[in-house]
């Protein structure tokens, strides 16, 4: 902003203490403080909380969050990499860079396998020359070459990649997208799994789950009260209004005309219908209008606390007309999936940026005992670090930007397919259809593939243990039998075929 008015500049040109105007629908460009205006901000990308947060003068705002309704004038306090979002990105990069690669068994073996085979070939030739009689030179050359051919590490080299390729293909068939082999190798070792709440255990879409109408005292039937609610919410830009509209829109309600509509950020809305002024919003705001509320808690209030619902109250200024309970819907298979993970010996944790009551309610519904609420991105990452220091192999499942740091820190990172771009970029495994049931399937797939690799290595070594002594001439003194290099090459090919065949067999194995 300049003294002469407004000036549009590039984000890179913003400096500390600049005054910035953020219009409805725009993202906050910097961390700062509101100095003018009121609005609702969607901060779910940072906190995981799906409900928008009311912002006014004196409130802090963060880069990357979405301004939903009113215009805000803010003063820049942090810019670029110093913003909360910038710090998250920086930590993600550090976590990714500091993670050591898994030392695969086949890599260790390969470093010594070839030199040993060359030495065995030379030793075979030397023994033939030292102990051999007639045609020692010819037999020694043939045996030395046969040792090299039959011990060709083709099967050993195919053992891991063929199993991994089959595993990744099988995962893709099940909507499990695997970005690297490391995740497959570590998945079967997971001992602790951390779940995000919003968008992971829940659908991330608010929904009306309870409704109470005061028909007796108001003199209005339920349909009339619902018509008032629908008319008011149709004029509201609050995200919760969409849940109420979706709940009532399916009913054949009479249409009402709203006049003198007013939105009060952080409190509610009001509007006049047929000459009567109605108020819809928080309980505190309704009480401030002088509305007489029941002395004791309503049944819907008691149940709302148990289920961590958000309550919306409707009154006409004197009498309470209705109360709605809105909650984020739990994915139907979440309890079954959590129980399945427990049976696999995996400890399950819930970490969320949401408030305590919703976190507690969701944890109890799905059967998770250990949970933490109101977690910042760094809190999630530090929690995973603490688990790793205790010796756990940790998997993290999330979908938002606020989960990216924790995903990068985890040994196995799993993102929901409908999540944010940064979460999908960081995660090494993506569940394309965001189905929770794919989590235990991914861990079972890891175990299946690792077992396949071990079997492949076993068969590769069995061929070598049996074939090398025979190729060296072990049976010649007893039976006069020598392995021709042509026969050795056929045996070597057969070992490779057995490894490939065993890998392909994994396609028929079940992981559900």
Is residue 322 helix, strand or coil?
strand
* Residues 6 or more apart whose Cβ sits within 8 Å of residue 78: 16, 30, 31, 32, 63, 84
Strand stretches in 265-346, DSSP E: 268-273, 276-281, 310-315, 320-330
**Is 403 marked active-site?**
no
| Paired tokens of 438 | 């794919």
Q: Are 31 and 65 in contact (CB under 8 A)?
A: no
Q: Quick one: how far is CA 149 from the chain centroid?
A: 48
With b for 16 or more beta-carbon neighbours within 10 A and e for fewer, the 26-45 pattern comes to: eebbbbbebeebbbbbbbbb
C-alpha dihedral, 231 to 236 to 240 to 245, nearest 10°: 30
**435, 429 in Cβ contact below 8 A?**
no
Among residues 31, 196, 399, 411, the one annotated as catalytic is: 196
| Cβ-contact 285, 279 below 8 angstroms | yes
Q: How far from the centroid of its chain's Cα atoms is residue 446's Cα?
A: 17
CA nearest to 386, candidates 368, 409, 402, 405: 409
Q: How far apart are CA 456 and CA 462, in angstroms?
A: 10
Nearest Cα neighbor of 148 from 398, 491, 505, 458 is: 491
Q: Which strand (E) or helix (H) includes residue 432?
A: none
In the chain, what are the helix, strand and coil shares in percent, each to the nearest 5? 50, 20, 30
- Return the active site residues: 196
């Amino acid at each position: 902003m300049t003294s002469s008015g407004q000036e549009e500049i590039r984000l890179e040109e913003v400096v500390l203490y600049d005054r910035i105007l953020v219009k409805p629908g725009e993202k906050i460009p910097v961390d700062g403080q509101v100095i003018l205006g009121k609005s609702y901000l969607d901060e779910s990308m940072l906190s995981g909380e799906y409900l928008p947060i009311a912002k006014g003068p004196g409130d802090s705002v963060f880069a990357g969050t979405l301004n939903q309704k009113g215009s805000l004038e803010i003063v820049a306090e942090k810019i670029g990499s110093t913003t909360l979002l910038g710090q998250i990105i920086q930590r993600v990069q550090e976590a990714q860079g500091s993670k050591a690669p898994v030392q695969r068994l086949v890599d260790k073996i390969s470093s010594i396998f070839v030199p040993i085979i060359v030495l065995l070939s030379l030793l075979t030739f030397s023994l033939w020359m030292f102990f051999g009689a007639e045609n020692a030179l010819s037999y020694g050359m043939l045996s030395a070459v046969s040792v090299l051919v039959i011990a060709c590490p083709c099967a050993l080299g195919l053992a891991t990649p063929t199993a991994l390729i089959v595993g990744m293909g099988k995962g893709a068939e099940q909507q499990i997208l695997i970005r690297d082999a490391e995740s497959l190798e570590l998945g079967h070792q997971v001992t602790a799994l951390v779940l995000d709440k919003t968008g992971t255990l829940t659908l991330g879409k608010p929904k009306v789950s309870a409704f109470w109408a005061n028909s007796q005292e108001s003199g209005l039937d339920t349909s009339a009260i619902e018509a008032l609610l629908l008319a008011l919410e149709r004029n509201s830009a609050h995200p919760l209004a969409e849940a109420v509209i979706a709940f009532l829109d399916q009913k054949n309600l009479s249409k009402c005309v709203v006049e003198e509509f007013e939105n009060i950020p952080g409190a509610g809305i009001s509007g006049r219908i047929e000459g009567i002024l109605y108020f819809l919003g928080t309980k505190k705001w309704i009480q401030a209008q002088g509305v007489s509320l029941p002395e004791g808690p309503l049944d819907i209030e008691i149940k709302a606390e148990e289920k961590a619902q958000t309550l919306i109250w409707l009154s006409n200024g004197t009498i309470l007309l209705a109360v709605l309970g809105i909650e984020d819907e739990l994915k139907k298979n979440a309890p079954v999936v959590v129980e399945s993970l427990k049976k696999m010996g995996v400890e399950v944790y819930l970490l969320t940026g949401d408030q305590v009551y919703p976190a507690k309610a969701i944890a109890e519904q799905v059967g998770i005992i250990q949970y933490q609420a109101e977690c910042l991105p760094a809190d999630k990452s530090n929690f995973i670090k603490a688990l790793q220091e205790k010796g756990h192999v940790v998997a993290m499942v999330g979908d938002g930007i606020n989960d990216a740091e924790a995903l990068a820190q985890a040994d196995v990172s799993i993102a929901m397919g409908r999540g944010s771009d940064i979460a999908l970029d960081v995660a090494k495994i993506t569940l394309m259809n965001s189905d929770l049931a794919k989590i235990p399937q991914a861990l079972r797939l890891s175990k299946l593939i690792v077992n396949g690799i071990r079997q492949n290595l076993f068969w590769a070594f069995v061929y070598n243990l049996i074939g090398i002594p025979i190729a060296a001439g072990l049976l010649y003194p007893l039976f006069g039998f020598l392995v021709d290099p042509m026969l050795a090459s056929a045996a070597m090919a057969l070992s490779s075929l057995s490894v490939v065949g065993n890998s392909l067999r994994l396609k028929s194995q079940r992981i559900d």
